[in-house]
């Protein structure tokens, strides 16, 4: 009996030794996770109709291609300003935000962007004076399908579905989506494909221009909306003979009514206008609120606090001499770092936050480097002393949002405003990486 136990112990010992030798001699496999980070390519819209427009990018060698049904490859550029004719362009992913600038008797500016699946537009009109268009751009190489839903003061209209051919743009007249409706909010939801959407709002009465502007897209509804860059009558336009009015457009996107509070911030301080401390807004119905007490002779911001997620914007209507202009100011995200090519514009930068701490670094059109540090509470603004090309804005604290106001050129009265939102956010992906020794013989 003792001999059998001893034999078993010896066999077990031999087996364990053999397993140790095999594990030592076998190839070792180590697997780790590799994280890659990239910026997705963005789309810059072209208005067409012989409108002079360009796309500004931060570096000249950033790749670009026309979205024309034929072009397939990104081509390295030689300039930071890309002329736009009738076709939108795709811009290689990078940390900067490309911007489309369009000029006529008006000025229209919009950040180039890529949809994360849904985009909202708190603006536009299907009324008699509207010459507005929704541009749905498919930058991919397969068909895309989208759902377009229009909200009005009486509720939502029937959802429309559109198919967009590969590598092309579908241009939809707003008065076909909401004929005769003055105040609308539009949702564009991507069902398949790689789609970016843009809303261009132009108004005309006969041959007379009433102004035009892009309505910058909004990614998602929020309970606090910061509309940072609402323009005023500034410089030579600040005259008693010129007129300016502002109105707030709001949509509660869910099915529960909301209560909102509206605060106006400017360099003169902040206040809640009379009657706007507690406003009930019915769900899924577009509401327009005149901002009667808003400042006229300076830029300002509007902060809306709501108990339900909302989409909102401010429409500014100018009458300067015999000319007219409109400007849409939309909501700004929280700011960390933002860079863009302003193509020689001399803008006004505006910021909102409980504690504002900002550093601006820019290249002037005169060849000089400009550095500016801004600080304050609630609201602050700064206008560059010269036209700017590439600009880098860095928030040195949290809870800050920014915007840019583009002022008239000498030849016209054009005014436009954009939020300081990045056209594309850094995307990360994880993939397993195996040790090459797995396939190597010893």
pLDDT at position 99 is 97
- Measured CA to CA, the distance from residue 247 to residue 227 in angstroms comes to 12
Average pLDDT rounded to a whole number, residues 5-28: 58
Q: What pLDDT score does 104 carry?
A: 87
In whole angstroms, what is the distance from residue 192 CA to residue 141 CA? Answer: 12
pLDDT at residue 11, as a whole number? 60
Q: What average pLDDT does the segment 115-130 reach?
A: 95
Q: Output 49 or 312, whichever has higher pLDDT.
A: 312
Q: Which of 39-43, 47-51, 181-185 has the highest mean pLDDT?
A: 181-185
The residue-averaged pLDDT of 28-54 equals 76
> 160-169, 172-181, 273-282, 427-436: which range is least confident on average?
427-436
Residue 423's φ and ψ, nearest 5 degrees, are -65, -30
Rounded to whole angstroms, how far apart are CA atoms 66 and 242? 41
Q: Residue 277: its pLDDT value, please?
A: 97
Q: Which residues, listed in sequence order, are joined to residue 392 by a DSSP beta bridge?
A: 339, 361
What pLDDT is stored for residue 179 in this prediction? 96
State percent of the chain over pLDDT 90.
Answer: 78
List, for residues 199-230, the tens digit of each pLDDT value.
Answer: 999 999 998 999 999 999 999 999 999 999 99
- Phi, psi dihedral angles at 159 (to 5 degrees): -70, 135
Which of these ranges, 3-7, 11-15, 128-132, 140-144, has the smallest mean pLDDT? 3-7
Q: What is the pTM of this model?
A: 0.88
Tokens for 112, please give them: 């180039």
Distance, CA of 344 to chain centre: 21
Q: CB of 293 within 8 A of CB of 274?
A: yes
Model pLDDT, residue 437: 47
- Of 207, 200, 210, nearest to 51 by C-alpha is 200
Per the DSSP assignment, residues forming a β-bridge with 280 are: 259
Per-residue pLDDT for 3 more than 60?
A: no
Query: Exposed, middle or buried: residue 344 (CB in 10 Å: 0-12, 13-18, 19+)?
Result: middle
Helix/strand/coil (H/E/C) assignment for every residue in 21-80: HHHHHCCCCCEEEEEEEECCCEEECCCCCCCEEEEECCCCCCEEEECCCCCCCCEECCCC
- State the pLDDT at residue 37: 62
**Two tokens, residue 425:** 């956010």
Mean pLDDT of the 297-308 span: 97
Tell which residue, 339, 343, 91, 120, has the closest CA to residue 216: 120
CA distances from 317 to 10, 202, 203, 230, 427 (A): 95, 12, 11, 11, 38
The rounded mean pLDDT for the chain is 90
Residue 407 confidence (pLDDT): 86
Q: The tokens 């759902």 sit on which residue? A: 147
Mean pLDDT of 361-379: 96
Question: For position 6, what pLDDT does the model report?
Answer: 60
What's the rounded mean pLDDT across residues 431-438? Answer: 50
Asked whether residue 440 carries a pLDDT value surpassing 50, the answer given is no
**Residue 33 CB-density burial (10 A; 0-12 exposed, 13-18 middle, 19+ buried):** exposed
User: Band of the pLDDT at 441, cuts 50, 70, 90?
Assistant: very low
pLDDT classification of 442: cutoffs 50, 70, 90:
very low
Cα 325 to chain centroid distance, Å, stands at: 22
Q: Please, which residues have CB within 8 angstroms of residue 168's CB and are 6 or more apart in sequence?
A: 67, 68, 69, 137, 138
Q: What is the pLDDT of residue 409?
A: 59
Average pLDDT over residues 51-57: 92
Question: How would residue 97 be classed by pLDDT, with cut points 50, 70 and 90?
Answer: very high
Q: How confident is the model at residue 25 (pLDDT cuts 50, 70, 90)?
A: low
**How is residue 113 annotated by DSSP?**
B
pLDDT above 70 as % of the chain: 87
Residue 65: pLDDT band by 50, 70, 90 thresholds? Answer: very high
∠369-374-376 over CA atoms, to 5°? Answer: 175
The per-residue pLDDT for range 384-415, each reduced to its tens digit, is: 999 999 999 999 999 999 999 998 755 567 89
- pLDDT surpasses 50 at 82: yes
For the cut 80, the answer to whether the pLDDT of residue 21 exceeds it is no
């Amino acid at each position: 009996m003792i001999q059998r136990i001893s034999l078993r112990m010896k066999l077990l010992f031999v087996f364990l030794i053999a397993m140790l030798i095999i594990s030592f001699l076998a190839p070792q496999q180590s697997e780790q996770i590799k994280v890659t980070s990239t910026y997705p390519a963005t789309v810059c819209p072209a208005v067409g109709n012989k409108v002079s427009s360009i796309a500004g990018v931060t570096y000249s060698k950033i790749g670009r291609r026309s979205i024309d049904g034929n072009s397939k490859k990104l081509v390295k550029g030689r300039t930071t300003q890309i002329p736009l004719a009738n076709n939108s362009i795709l811009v290689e992913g990078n940390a900067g935000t490309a911007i489309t600038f369009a000029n006529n008797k008006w000025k229209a500016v919009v950040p180039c962007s890529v949809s994360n699946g849904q985009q909202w537009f708190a603006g536009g009109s299907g009324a008699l004076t509207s010459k507005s268009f929704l541009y749905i751009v498919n930058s991919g190489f397969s068909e895309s399908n989208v759902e377009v839903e229009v909200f009005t003061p009486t509720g939502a209209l029937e959802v429309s579905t559109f198919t967009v051919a590969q590598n092309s743009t579908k241009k939809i007249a707003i008065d076909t989506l909401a004929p005769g409706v003055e105040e609308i909010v539009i949702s564009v939801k991507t069902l398949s494909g790689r789609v970016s959407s843009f809303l261009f709002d132009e108004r005309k009465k006969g041959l007379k221009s009433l102004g035009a502007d892009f309505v910058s897209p909004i990614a998602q509804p929020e309970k606090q909306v910061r509309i940072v860059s609402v323009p005023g009558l500034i410089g030579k336009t600040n005259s008693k003979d010129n007129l300016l009015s502002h109105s707030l457009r709001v949509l509660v996107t869910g099915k529960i009514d909301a209560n909102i509070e509206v605060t106006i911030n400017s360099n003169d301080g902040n206040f809640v206008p009379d009657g706007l401390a507690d406003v009930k807004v019915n769900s899924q119905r577009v509401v327009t609120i005149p901002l009667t007490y808003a400042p006229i002779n300076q830029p300002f911001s509007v902060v809306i606090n709501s108990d339900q997620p909302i989409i909102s914007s401010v429409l500014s209507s100018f009458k300067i001499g015999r000319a007219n202009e409109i400007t849409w100011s939309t909501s700004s995200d929280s700011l960390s770092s933002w860079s863009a090519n302003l193509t020689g514009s001399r803008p006004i930068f505006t910021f909102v936050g409980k504690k504002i701490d900002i550093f601006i670094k820019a290249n002037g059109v005169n060849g000089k480097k400009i550095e500016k540090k801004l600080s304050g509470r609630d609201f602050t603004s700064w206008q560059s002393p010269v036209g700017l090309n590439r600009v880098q804005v860095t928030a040195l604290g949290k809870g800050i949002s920014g915007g840019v106001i583009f002022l008239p050129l000498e030849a016209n009265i054009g005014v436009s405003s954009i939020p300081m939102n990045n056209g594309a956010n850094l995307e990360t992906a994880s993939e397993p990486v195996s040790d090459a020794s797995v396939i190597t013989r010893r």
